Chains A and B, each alone.
Chain A
Amino acid sequence: MPLSLHCQDLTVTIGETTLLTETSFEVTDPGIIALTGANGAGKTTLLKTLAGRQLPSGGEVLINDRTPYEFDPTFRAEVASLIDTPPMARDMTLLEQLALVRASWGQSPQASFQSAEQTLQRLTIRGLAERFPYELSAGQLQLFAIGLTISRPYRILLLDEPERHLDTERVQTLLQILRAEAQAGSIILTATHRQEIVEGAGDQIHLSAA
């Protein structure tokens, strides 16, 4: 099974506005890649294009040798993304929501709850398991959103500034989790403005403003 991110002369324009100038790169090994650039450089647009949510205007984009396509179940199985804040259920506890994600990917309900507890433990919010999303702070919500995203299996993970609302200590926790996920064999492409994450990543892709 191939593992790769491939962009060749990729551009995205809407009307007369260029959201992403010609961008080319190739990633074939597991690891963390920091995606950097000024505001408006096209980081989010690039992530959306890789996630199959934005059609490219020119060039080529391939994920594991396939064109991103939301109607392809194999593509959906291989790519997880946290680009916008994911919707959370107001009437389900954090534990229930993480367990449901696990169960939807094939774990038994009992195993799902156990895995969900482990995920909360990794995110250092085990004590919030029985809380509802509206009872959390912005930082705790961000950690939970990361938890929802990594609770499902994937081979490629796309993150848009996952460090939002996180303090320095939690950013280190996030880095540890991302490293562990990369060591398990995934490519993690994360847009970021935090130097710690750039330094903690194995590689960097820098986008220039359009």
Chain B
Amino acid sequence: MDMTEVSRLHAARAIYLNREGAPTAGDRWFSLYLIAFVTAFYITPVAYLIGDFLDPTLAEGITSSEAVGATSSTLTTLGLAALLSGRWVQGPAFLTPFLAHTLLGSDLSRHQVLRRPTLSSLLAIATAVTAVAAIGVFALTHAGAWPWQHYGWLLAAAFLLGILWGLLSFLGQRLSDRGLLFTAGILLLLAVLGVLLPGTVKASPFGWAAMIWAGEASWGPVSGLAAVAMAGAVLVFANPSALEKLPAARILAQSRRLSDARLFTSTGNINDAVELFRAKPRRRLSRMTLGSGLRQDAVTALRAPLSLLTAALFIPTGAALLGLTVSSVGVHFEESRLVVTVPLGVLGALLIFFGTGSLTEGWRQVKNEFDAAALFGWSARRAIGRRMLWPLMTTTALTGIGVGLILALDLQGPHMPAVQVVAWTLGMTALALAARFFQSMRDRDIPVEFLAPTVIPGGIDLSAVKILVWLGDGIILTVTGVLAMIILPWETPTLAVTLGVLVLIGFAWGWARTGGNLLTRAPKKSTVGSLGA
């Protein structure tokens, strides 16, 4: 037992790497082949086409000097999201549950144990950010937003930003509650200042990145970003207490959750995987949940503030993207621009759909209320009616903020009147809500008959397709709606009817899934009394 810590770790790692179920070299090569294949034959051509058809005015608009403040705020907000996700989703100090339990419970220095996996995670985050930036920046550069010489600076900035976001995620994982709140407050302040006082961005690394984005500078801000990233990395890796004082319970809980989610996903149990990441009620407000449906839902949302924050970020962002999409399809529909409008519109609609998740907790509970409707003394119609107000009000308000921002910044272009932009965006939001209702009302488990083989002529079994459609029914309805709006000929009555029918299908089919009867009256009081007795 006189081995050094390094050799102890090396021995444990050797056993782990040579384990029975370890991926083979062939598995790794196949993964690399898939990445190369998708990059070469899908991502690169699509990025090229986006650049080809991107409106140069739009490209110049979002990369202009006037956009520096907004860009800086967006980058800072993403930093805030990284900080919070490091605490509540997954931070960069990651080990598999078994290794976390074994190695963090030993007398090995945690600095020694966690240094390598944390560094790998930081580099993986930075690489992923650079890869995403490479695609987007390629398209924008191709559209003429910057000279090609600037491409390298933008990629360097993206890599350094990835490191900064990774470090913020680490801070989220490492800091105490008070430290986390303080850091989040500073980031929020920087984000707000970026919009209100754009001159202040020169004092923030995210502002430097925004200046590179706007083509205002290159060498100075990049070296500034590099210095901040380097200083952060030195603080994490050269200061032993940074990794040494990471609570094992937090790392283990995150690692267990991710591992379980991977297992659920691999077996098709997406609901269970998502459930693992759903925010748990944190505040003791349970007594306040009594009362009207609106109050009940509002308090439920307040008990999971992070989830509420996600909705507050996702829905306005999605509405802004939808606003941009509808204003650019409009009467000036061009088939060649689908490559831009389709991804933009689908992303916007999906952001709204996912954002509504935390606002519709009441819908997920409402099926239980149907079963107990007699006890409550209300009809199924009323049970669901009282849980409608909160999602409708909040989603409409948040959509209004997003689309309002587009109108305020005058980004909607000259093709469509502002009223129509607002109306179509709200229509799409209604569809996303209908899809959410449709999904919330289904049973938790896959219907047994879906598991039986469905063989079509030619011997092909379609049961897997049925399961996939069942799992993603809400998403499919949302995407169908937004695609209809983008692809169908732009005639207001046709589109309005299509959208209206889809919204109706969402709510009506969702209602049908509950088995509730709209016409059934509330049970009489005497029935309630006898049940209570």
Give chain A's interface residues, CB within 8 Å of chain B: 15, 53, 70-71, 73-74, 76-77, 80, 86-93, 96-97, 99-101, 103-109, 112, 130, 132, 148, 152-153
Contact = CB atoms under 8 A, between A and B. Distances in A.
6 contacts: A76-B106, A77-B107, A80-B105, A92-B19, A109-B11, A112-B11
B252 interface: yes
Q: Which 4 A-B pairs have the closest CB atoms?
A: A91-B21, A87-B97, A77-B107, A106-B1
A155 to B, nearest CB: 12
B278 interface: no
A80 B259 CA distance: 24
A152 B106 contact: yes
Contacts of A148: 102
A105 B8 contact: yes
Nearest to B19: A92
Interface residues of B, number: 39
B98 A70 contact: no
Contact of A99 (B15, B110, B247): B15
A108 B98 contact: no
Contact of A89 (B1, B96, B247): B96
Given A104-B12, A106-B1, A87 B20 contact: no
B248 interface: yes
A151 B430 CA distance: 59
Contact of B15 (A86, A88, A96, A130): A96
B524 to A, nearest CB: 41
Given A76-B107, A100-B16, A105-B8, 4 more contacts: A77-B106, A103-B15, A104-B8, A105-B106
Contact of B98 (A73, A74, A88): A88
Given A91-B21, A132-B21, A103 B12 contact: yes
A150 B85 CA distance: 36
Contacts of B11: 103-104, 107-109, 112
B248 A91 contact: no
A71 B19 contact: no
Nearest to A92: B19
A91 B19 contact: yes
A74 to B, nearest CB: 7
B64 interface: no
Interface in B85-110: 96-103, 105-110
A2 B365 CA distance: 56
Contacts of A80: 105
A108 B8 CA distance: 8
B300 to A, nearest CB: 21
A132 B247 CA distance: 29
A1 to B, nearest CB: 14
A109 B249 contact: no
Contacts of A90: 21, 263
Nearest to B256: A87
B510 to A, nearest CB: 37
A96 B248 contact: no
B241 to A, nearest CB: 9
B116 interface: no
Given A101-B102, A105-B1, A107-B1, A96 B9 contact: no
B22 interface: yes
Contacts of B99: 89
The residue in A77, A96, A99 that gathers the most chain B C-beta atoms within 10 A of its C-beta is A96
Contacts of A70: 247-248
